[in-house]
Chain A
Amino acid sequence: MSDLAKRLDLNRALSVLGPFIGLILVMGLFAVLAPDRFVSAYNLKTIVTQTVIVALGAIGMTWVIIGGGIDLSVGSVIALSSVAAALFVRDGYSPAIAIVVGVVVGASVGALNGALITGLRVVPFIVTLGTMLMARGVAKWLGDEQKVDVPETWLDTVMSKNPDPSWLVLSPGVWTTLILAVVMAFALRRTVIGTHTIAVGSNEDTARLCGVRVSRVKIILYGIAGSFAGLAGVMQLGRLTVGDPTTAIGLELDIIAAVVIGGGSLSGGRGSILGSMIGAFLMAVLANGCTLTGVPNYVREILTGAIIIAAVAVDGLRQRPR
């Protein structure tokens, strides 16, 4: 039995192998095309830092998608929380307060998503399409339809490629993302709420039959997705050094793509944080490599699209013979 248990765990590992091989292939390709510029510690740090926003969003999105939902509002929530955080920094509050504000704003929109989905019984796609527009509107309203300039604080350094102190090697934003990814991956497999999330996404009726409080699980799920979008918004503020209400337009699609490339299934139940992180990194590598090699942007877009479809198709092939 233990042999078999290993084999079954191996099968789960295999689901991450696909995107990982894709990642190696893409990196190999750019390493050949632009050996000196692509393969450097500095460039690697650049890519990793560029991954942060999408990766943070993808952590929350993985939970939502495994729970059988979708959240289109995260791009707008990133903008909203970055503006909200910027207003607090501008008014002289500590950046620590601003981070809390950003996360709370995101969590609130997320919990609202969950409450509307369960309370009004409207499908997640529509509810979050609505709140996507609303959050964007509120962000512009708060920012008075302009960028919110902020004084220089330590918040500007969380996304810097050369962290201070230098023994950190990677920026605080990257470390934060990595730690949160590990925590949330652990939580997904090893906590009650994680187990309930997988159960709801696999078969909502079964979960109900087992006494799982499905509505509460969903509100928590979207709250998690919102919190991570909120945190990503603060990171975005750190990166841009202004609160921009028009930032991250369409970024929800990149985030969903990262989850899907990483093995997430839009019908719920399947997906992994590690896979989503690989997906997010893969897309950042693609963007970076194309810029370095002078490949036009449209080629990158075509490639990304092809990779999304290929990832899902390959995953489907792996699932079939059972």
Chain B
Amino acid sequence: MSTSALLTMRAVEKRFGGVTALGGVDLTVNAGEVHALVGENGAGKSTLMKVLSGAHRPDAGAMTVAGAAYAPTSPQGARAAGVAMIYQELNLAPDLTVEDNVMLGRETQRLGVVRRREDRGRIEEALAFLGHEDISPRRPVRDLGPGQRQVVEIVRALVGDARVVVMDEPTSSLSRRDAGHLFDVVRRLVKRGVAIIYISHFLEEVEELADRYTVLRDGKTVGTGDVVPGVAPRLVELMVGRPVTEVFPVVPRERGDALLQVDGLSGRVRPSGASFTLHRGEVLGIAGLVGAGRTELLRAIFGLDPIRGGTVTFAGVSDGGRSAPHRVAQGFGMLSEDRKEEGLATSLTIAQNATLSRLEPFSRFGILDLTARDRRAAELIERLSIRSAGPRQTTGDLSGGNQQKVAFARLLHQDADVILLDEPTRGVDVGSKVEMYRLIGELAASGKAVLFVSSYIPELLGVCDRIAVMHRGVLSKPRPAKDWDETSLLDEATRGGTP
């Protein structure tokens, strides 16, 4: 291996208030190599990227690029030093052409008039170098597919003379074929002497593409080395090696009759052919990576996304998809992963939010008894120990954990039989998490059927009776939670398993 370190990070630290996001990161990336950066959600990868791109300044540590000290204060500064970022959410203006996107912010101009001809040659050359002569510089980006858009981002980095290109989960939104093209492009870049920092959850990609790896855990570098065949289990071990500190309250319960049966359910893209049976008194966990299709599965069942195939059988009655109001009437309740955008109307009061899915108890001839509603909301506030000023407080004023409890309160009030939970503990403090685990257990114990989607493996293992894994839209067969451990779950989530 050559010793020409192009980018180094030494003991880089970054704190936000009392929270340590990075607690000592070491990273050395050589010219002409693909360096995989892996770690679980929350291990510090995105903070690291922000430090590299100049969006955050590190509190301690040092960085160099090509031997010179590197301390960017802005994305422009990073770009000038030759460090380019390619984010998961592509930063392209769909209505501009390919060439205008590539040159955005640094157009060659005279008297304010863009001189496109002077840059077009370079852009065409870069496209040809990447093997993508099929993309015309004058086409609007809107016409391009996701794979081609990614190429445009890379061209932007190339034309900007980037020496280090950081790619964040570049294949997460690509088809298999586009991903193959992308690997091709990456290999060509490396041949040119560019260094690639490749962030990915997909360990099979890492094995296929990367030369070396660095593993982050809890904001620290915990391992680095060469990628050799069969390295994936070692990576998983490094990623997981964390003590489980959460306490999972044990709520005794018994599995009852089958209540919900899903057969070969397919959505527009994901899921594809998901099947499982959910019983009363049971918590079924669904593990998987972000973007694997877990949210889409819940939305398809609940009638928020269209169903392309398969059936949903509730209490013995089968259908090929129903609207959300119909599902609510049947006794389905759902907690959204996106509390602010979808889960709650933050400008409304606690009472309004908690009762919206079932107003009938307070309504006579369509007229609401607000006192009764407030009384009911006060009960729920008490039951879930929501810290608030009362039923009429605006939900948006509460803390994240308490907001999530309001969303839970709504499920309780709705008294749904099938409860679909999508990342219910995201952005919630540890104390509230434990309360929610208890609540989930109590709901199951009272005969409800709970489907629990989470990216946080320890809580799935701690709360669920059975767990299934979703990988790229395909759902595995559920197995008892005691047959899983962190390593096997993470392994199946990142590499897919035997269905």
Contact = CB atoms under 8 A, between A and B. Distances in A.
A198 B391 CA distance: 17
A1 B377 CA distance: 13
Contact of A202 (B323, B329, B348, B368): B348
Given A207-B345, A209-B336, A269-B347, A192 B392 contact: no
Nearest to A6: B392
Contacts of B327: 211
A301 interface: no
A210 B345 CA distance: 11
A210 B416 CA distance: 11
Contacts of B393: 4, 8
B397 interface: yes
Interface of B is mostly: mixed
Interface string B340-354: 011111111100110
Interface residues of B, number: 40
Contact of B347 (A189, A207, A210, A270): A270
Nearest to A12: B392
Contact of B344 (A5, A193, A206, A270): A206
Contacts of A4: 389-390, 392-393
Contacts of B304: 208-209
B352 A195 contact: yes
For A4, A8, A206, the residue with the greatest tally of chain B CB atoms inside 10 Å of its CB is A206
A213 B323 CA distance: 9
B163 interface: no
Interface string B27-56: 000000000000000000000000000000
Contacts of B353: 206
Contacts of B374: 5
Interface in A290-322: 322
A4 to B, nearest CB: 5
B342 A203 contact: yes
A191 B342 contact: no
B407 to A, nearest CB: 9
Contact of B348 (A5, A8, A198, A211): A198
B322 to A, nearest CB: 11
Contacts of B392: 4-5, 8-9
Given A5-B390, A208-B304, A203 B363 contact: no
Interface of A: 1, 4-5, 8-9, 189-193, 195, 198-199, 202-203, 205-213, 269-270, 322
Interface of B: 302, 304, 323-325, 327-329, 334, 336, 341-349, 352-353, 356-357, 359, 363, 366-368, 370, 374, 378, 389-394, 397, 410, 414
The 8 closest A-B pairs by CB, nearest first: A211-B328, A202-B345, A210-B357, A203-B345, A205-B342, A210-B356, A211-B325, A1-B390
Given A8-B393, A202-B345, A203-B342, 8 more contacts: A4-B389, A190-B370, A192-B368, A206-B342, A206-B353, A211-B328, A213-B325, A270-B347
21 contacts: A1-B389, A1-B390, A5-B391, A8-B392, A189-B370, A190-B367, A191-B367, A202-B346, A203-B345, A203-B348, A205-B342, A206-B336, A206-B344, A207-B345, A210-B328, A211-B325, A211-B328, A212-B325, A212-B356, A269-B347, A322-B397
